Structure 1
């Protein structure tokens, strides 16, 4: 039996370290294989982003264990790349320099940056070209559209070739057409080099389009209610979204979340 690359074992999380503080996550368990693309969906405030903080080592669990790459997580992981809903590009740096930023921070690249900068710049420019930003390397963030900024942010999260990519609503602020273009770009990058991905999203179509496995979480405190395998073949394209099996899977997930929300309301929870 293979060992999971990411393994959360009965994890609980309370913010503030107070034993009496309400739980954000409760008895959360999850196993993700190396190279697997996972999406996590659920009601707002259910702890999806907290899950990312635990796996990346930005926050320790209150109870339970978080294992990544066969080691217990005890602090921020160097093997992680992250992208968020807001691109958070540094306004005084060009697109190229923003993408290179992790190489200036993360070892072993940091120690090699001065001597190998030209090679790293070439690598970054090739990555920018793959996402449609060739020719925009010297532009500043304020000269880019929102979709272009998010493409640059995606490149920045991948430039150091992380084994684990954490995505927290990365396309949530974009228009539908730009969002779907970025689905294709992300899928293409992942299929070229299948790194492990955990995508947090409210968009069920996005989850079904991109993920191998979809986890549905309960209302706060978050628990995993459902693990749904995605049978749709790859590569997926926009025509896939009109297929009946795609539509049926989106509806099944939507109904599951509707049940979660209604159960919470009946129970008097917020």
Structure 2
């Protein structure tokens, strides 16, 4: 399998010393255009995996490859969204979306001369996630779900090849969370971007992902990999089927075993 993201026997210790590793012997491969989900016990190294894949942390041992290149510094082809939308309160929603373009090349050079083009791109994204006409609003004028929609748009504004999602829906109510599952489902299908989602919600992982990777307790490594064979596009009704529940139960069993072995 040709991997777009590959971690091969990676070990990472925060601070670079001889302390206990956050991950140890961690290996996985994610194909280009694939939607992968990472689940596991709390503190198992899921977020560390994301930092390693994006170059925000360097491994003590092992190799990290993205898009055919060894990762040695923060990579520019990545968009990221987190549980906290982290929107700057003094900037409008539109200006928050444009923020990555002020940092990431080549957009940084082009932004001033092509401002109208980028504004149109941002407004198009807002419309796709149900925020049409909300660009002039400030974050404090938006609900939590609306802020998270804006955060997803910001992560995609520079058209990244890799989208990293770290518990982006964890702080939302169940109804809003399921609405946003459908938003990210549609955005990923339209753009064919490679996605790695870190989540504690097994239903979320099974609904969204092509494959789910389950990590052990700390130090983290992959202990199970589950292909999700449901056809796309998936409707929320599938989450109420016995087949869906069976996969969720299987993954929960892996996590239960990982916690027991800790």
Question: What TM-score comes out, normalization by structure 1 length?
Answer: 0.96
1:30-89 Cα offsets, whole Å, 9 max, x none, are 011100100000000000000000000001000000000111001011000000000000
The CA distance in 2 between the partners of 1:231 and 1:172, in whole Å, is 25
Q: RMSD in angstroms over aligned alpha carbons?
A: 0.6
SS in 1 for 2:213: strand
Q: CA deviation at 1:263?
A: 2.1
The CA distance in 2 between the partners of 1:104 and 1:199, in whole Å, is 26
2:105 aligned partner: 107
Deviating above 4 A after TM superposition, structure 1's stretches of 4 or more consecutive aligned residues are none
Which region of structure 1 is more displaced relative to structure 2, 252-261 or 57-66?
Answer: 252-261
1:236 aligned partner: 234
The CA distance in 1 between the partners of 2:220 and 2:109, in whole Å, is 40
The CA distance in 1 between the partners of 2:258 and 2:121, in whole Å, is 45
Q: Does 1:12 align with 2:11?
A: yes
SS in 1 for 2:249: helix
Count of matched residue pairs: 262
2:141 aligned partner: 143
Q: CA deviation at 1:259?
A: 1.3
Q: CA deviation at 1:3?
A: 2.4
* Runs of 5+ unmatched residues, structure 1: 265-270
Q: CA deviation at 1:255?
A: 1.1
Q: CA deviation at 1:184?
A: 0.2
1:267 aligned partner: none
Q: CA deviation at 1:114?
A: 0.6
Q: CA deviation at 1:177?
A: 0.3
Q: Does 1:34 align with 2:17?
A: no
Question: What TM-score comes out, normalization by structure 2 length?
Answer: 0.99
The CA distance in 2 between the partners of 1:14 and 1:100, in whole Å, is 35
